[in-house]
Amino acid sequence: MHARINLAEQPARPPRGGNAAAGARTLIAAREFSVFYGSKAAVDKASLDIPAGFVTAIIGPSGCGKSTFLRAINRMNDLIPGCSATGGLSLDGQEIYAPEVDVVALRKMIGMVFQKPNPFPKSIFDNVAFGPRIHGTGDRSSLGEIVERSLRRAALWDEVKDRLGDNALGLSGGQQQRLCIARAIAVNPRILLMDEPASALDPRSTARIEDLIGELRGDYTIVIVTHNMQQAARVSDMTAYFYEGRLIEFGDTGEVFTKPKEKHTEDYITGRFG
Amino acid sequence: MDPGSRKTFDRSFTAVGYFSIALMAAALVVLLMPIFAKGSGAFVFRGTVENRRLMLEKFGRGDRAAIEAEKAAAAAARAPVYEAIARFEAALDTADAEDRRGYRSDFREVRELVAELLGPAPGRQTPVLIRDQYGQTRWDRASVVLHRILYVEDYDYSDATKMGVKVATPRVERFRGTALEPLFGVLERDARAMLRPRTTFYWRFLFDQSFDAHIFGGIWPELLGTFYLAVGAMLFAVPLGIVAAIYLAEYAGESAFVSMLRTCISSLAGVPSIVFGLFGLAFFINTLRVSPSKSVLAGSLTLALLILPTVIRASEEAIKSVPVAYKEAAMSLGASRWRSIVTVILPAALPGVLTSVIISMGRAAGETAPIIFTAAVSVGKPLAIWQTLSQPTPALPWNIYNLATEHEAVDEIRHVQYGMVLTLVVLVLLLNLAAIVLRARVSKKLRG
């Protein structure tokens, strides 16, 4: 069932900066984790701990394996023929790639937002209600409640409350992306994976999405892949830098951006390449 | 390529494009105009009093009193004809044997032609065949018969270097000076009064049974049979085709076996329809014995096989053209593969699937060859639903062929044949139109 979130009693947001995230409980742990397309390693023996309740950004140039790593967490890579994974990737100590894992239950726990807003060609209501419906919530009134709560949480409610029956494709790009976020959180996930969620949006919509990420921080563990380094610096607590499939550096965002340990990271961040 | 010749090239290519479109449009007009012009003759024509009598007696339609009055008026106009015949017959009785022999066959011909034009002579026993119980019901046909009464047509072969030349000589010459002579003048002058042609709008042509193998009446059994066959074919082909398309698009992957399967399906779409017909006979009727002989069921199954490849390929393309993003979104929310297909992919593919289904239905309605051996008969009653399991039916495409080639009185029922052609063409056009409208509406709904 979907636990009701009382907005008034939200836990205090974890503090930003000051290495707070580095000491937090680990939710997702990768150990020598690799993903192969055929025989080519897209992610090459990455090891990192993603802390619960914080925002972790994954940055790196195109083709560095950051999206592949993200899509490994909810096993979306399973859809790609010839894709395989080795090493350890665990969620709360449970191996994600273990054969007994129920992928449906796993994905229910992990919401995902894609690069291009991809609402279904259905009404706004049906989009948000899609997840709860397939997980067995049938009656209209509790669906309505979930839809309203999710849309409020995604800061979209006021804009669409009078036209929930309209086709979602009639919304603007930024609204569509927030709808996708509402759709993802409607199934009450613990983790939100965001694959360059603002790269297809204009600056204003991007700012709203970034604000929203700040709002959701604390309630969800967020892993965001981004091309935009300013964005990573603005929204994230932890940053992982991937290059050609390998994890080059992982640490507190402030540290990675101000005094990176690796020369390579510094070159990338300062715009020498990428 | 320099800019000048590029421009010329572009222009000439555009011109060729316009030309071919214009040619197609012209071909369509040339094709459809006669179909509509001739086919409308089955619905709108100059109906005679015989037609109104037929409608009253066979279908109970029309104002009985008015028709009786009209019959009386027509009978009054016809009286001189029958009087002339009676006087000539009486004169013949007293004529010498040679005269009697000489006139006998010519006179019999006249009497038969008059009966064909006006119906059975008054006071005679009602004939057994329905076609003999009425005169000409349509004025266009009546004019033809009238011409045959007034003129004897023969071929002149006297010039051996030429083909026979058709010569029409007035029949009255044969009877000059006899009591029958006035008959021809009276007929020529008063034929309208005898038959009272009037513009008739016969929309019930679509929904009337036919009498005497389409000599009278409408095409309801054919229309209903076509409907049963097309809908039956859809009942088998659509679920099967969509499931197969889902399998090919979503589950099959890309193995050698699957690509062979695709090639087979595509080739199946190109197999001549008569082969499907023979296969249907051999497989469904002779081997599976779905019915003792031809039946709507066997025909529907055969038609389903015929359209299945089209439905599969078109639906597969429609499903494949659904953005992967939809599937990813559904699966990231924890939908199983099947669930995401049913709730997201199929609805998004619906416009394409529907179009293929409706166009296939038009094809099934119009196919002749597959039903020749499996379902079609030339004459039959409209079937009830349960009878479709075991009984054959007349159907528009087959009966068009049948009326055009095998009917005993092809010339007399041309209008029925053209009416069937028009009905079938309009039916298929309507189905295609429905496909376009439905597609537009569903994709509009999907686009938001």
| ipTM of this complex prediction, to 2 decimal places | 0.85
> Could you report the per-residue pLDDT of B332-377, keeping only the tens digit for each?
998 888 889 999 999 999 888 988 898 899 999 999 999 999 999 8
The whole-angstrom distance between B343's CA and the closest CA on chain A is 9
Q: Which residue in B334, B348, B448 is closest to A135 by CB distance?
A: B334
| Spatial CB neighbours of B275, under 8 Å, sequence gap ≥ 6 | none
Among A67, A76, A134, A175, the residue to mutate for chain B (most B Cβ within 10 A): A134
pLDDT, one tens digit per residue, over B16-71 is 999 999 999 999 999 899 999 999 999 999 999 999 999 999 899 989 999 999 99
Kindly list the residues from chain B whose CB atom is less than 8 angstroms away from the CB atom of residue A120. 326, 329-330, 344, 348
The beta strands (E) that lie in B186-339 are given as 198-201, 210-211, 216-217
Question: Which residues in chain A are closer than 8 Å to B346, comparing Cβ atoms?
Answer: none
CA distances from B388 to B237, B373, B384, B385, B394 (A): 17, 16, 7, 6, 12
| Domain ranges, ordered by start, for chain B | 3-42, 46-201, 220-447
CA distance B319 to chain A (A): 14
Confidence (pLDDT) at A18: 56
Dihedrals phi, psi of B294, to nearest 5 degrees: -50, 140
Do A56 and A256 meet the contact criterion of CB atoms below 8 Å apart? no
A115 contacts A197 by C-beta, under 8 angstroms: yes
Do B382 and B208 meet the contact criterion of CB atoms below 8 Å apart?
Answer: no
Strand ranges inside B57-164, DSSP E: 151-156
B333–A166 CB contact, under 8 Å:
no
Q: Which fold has domain B220-447?
A: MetI-like fold (1.10.3720)
Q: Are A169 and B446 within 8 A, CB to CB? A: yes
Alpha-carbon gap, residue A220 to A252, rounded angstroms: 18
Helix (H, G, I), strand (E, B) or coil at B200: strand
Percentages helix, strand, coil for chain A (3-state, rounded to 5) are 40, 25, 35
The length of chain A in residues reads 274
From chain B, the residues in CB contact with A121 under 8 A are 326, 347-348, 445-448
What pLDDT tens digit does each residue of chain B (448 aa) get? 788 888 898 999 999 999 999 999 999 999 899 999 999 999 999 999 999 999 999 899 989 999 999 999 999 999 999 999 999 988 888 888 888 888 888 899 999 999 999 999 888 888 888 888 999 999 999 999 999 999 998 888 887 788 888 888 898 888 888 888 889 999 999 999 999 999 999 999 999 988 888 888 899 999 999 999 999 999 999 999 999 999 999 888 788 999 999 999 999 988 999 999 999 999 999 999 998 899 999 999 999 999 999 999 999 999 999 988 898 899 999 888 888 999 999 999 988 898 889 889 999 999 999 999 999 988 888 999 999 899 999 999 999 999 988 888 888 889 999 999 999 999 999 988 988 898 888 887 777 5
Find the residue in A nearest to B350 (Cα).
Answer: A121
- Count of CA atoms in the C-beta half-sphere (13 A) of B166: 4
In chain A, what residues touch B348 (CB-CB under 8 Å)?
120-121
Contact (CB, 8 A) for B149 and B117: yes
B446 touches chain A (CB under 8 A): yes
Using one digit for the tens of pLDDT, what is the confidence trace for A26-78?
889 899 999 999 888 888 888 989 998 899 999 988 888 888 999 999 998 88
**Residues in chain B within 8 Å Cβ distance of A116:** 325
A187 neighbors B333 (Cβ within 8 angstroms): yes
B323 reaches A (C-beta below 8 A): yes
Question: CA of B446: which chain A residue's CA is closest?
Answer: A121
pLDDT at B281: 94
Burial of B48 (0-12, 13-18, 19+ CB in 10 A): buried
pLDDT band at A229 (very low <50, low <70, confident <90, very high): confident
Cβ–Cβ under 8 Å, residues A153 and A213:
no
CB contact under 8 A, B328 and A118: yes
What is the pTM assigned to this prediction?
0.82
CB distance A60 to A268 below 8 Å:
yes
CB contact under 8 A, A134 and B333: yes
Residue type at B403? L
- Nearest Cα of chain B lies from the Cα of A87 at a distance, in angstroms, of 23
Whether B326 contacts chain A with CB within 8 A: yes
DSSP for A16-75 reads: PSTTTGGGSPEEEEEEEEEEEETTEEEEEEEEEEEETTSEEEEE-STTSSHHHHHHHHTT
Q: How far apart are CA A5 and CA A150, in angstroms?
A: 10
Looking at residue A22, its pLDDT comes to 63
With an 8 Å Cβ cutoff, is B294 touching chain A?
no
How many angstroms separate the CA of residue B351 from the nearest CA in chain A?
13
The DSSP symbol for B283 reads: I
Please give the Cα distance from B184 to B190 (Å, whole number): 10
> Which are the contacts of B243, defined by CB distance < 8 A and separation ≥ 6?
none
What distance in Å separates residue B332's CA from the closest CA in chain A? 6
DSSP string, B152-183: EEEEE--STTS--EEEEEEGGGGGTTSTTHHH
Contacts of B339 in chain A (CB under 8 A): 134
Contact B335 A134 (CB under 8 A): yes
Residues B358, B351: Cα–Cα separation, whole Å: 11
* Residue in chain B nearest A171 by alpha carbon: B448
* pLDDT tens for each residue of A3-18: 444 444 444 556 665 5
Which of B430, B300, B271, B290 shows the shortest CA–CA distance to B362?
Answer: B430
Tokens of A171: 């919304």
Q: One-letter amino acid identity for B36? A: F
CA A32 to chain centre: 21
The CA-atom distances, in angstroms, between B258 and each of B244, B255, B265, B443 are 12, 5, 10, 30
Q: Which residue of B has its CA nearest to A79?
A: B328
Residue B130 near residue B216, CB atoms below 8 Å? yes
In chain A, what residues touch B254 (CB-CB under 8 Å)? 81
A90-to-A27, B309, B336, B390, B415 alpha-carbon distances in Å: 8, 47, 22, 63, 79
Q: What percent of chain A has pLDDT over 90?
A: 29
Decide if B329 touches A, using CB distance below 8 A.
yes
Compare all CA atoms of chain B with the CA of A131 and give the residue at the minimum distance. Answer: B333
Look at residue A14 in the predicted model and tell me its pLDDT: 62
Residue A272, pLDDT above cutoff 80: no
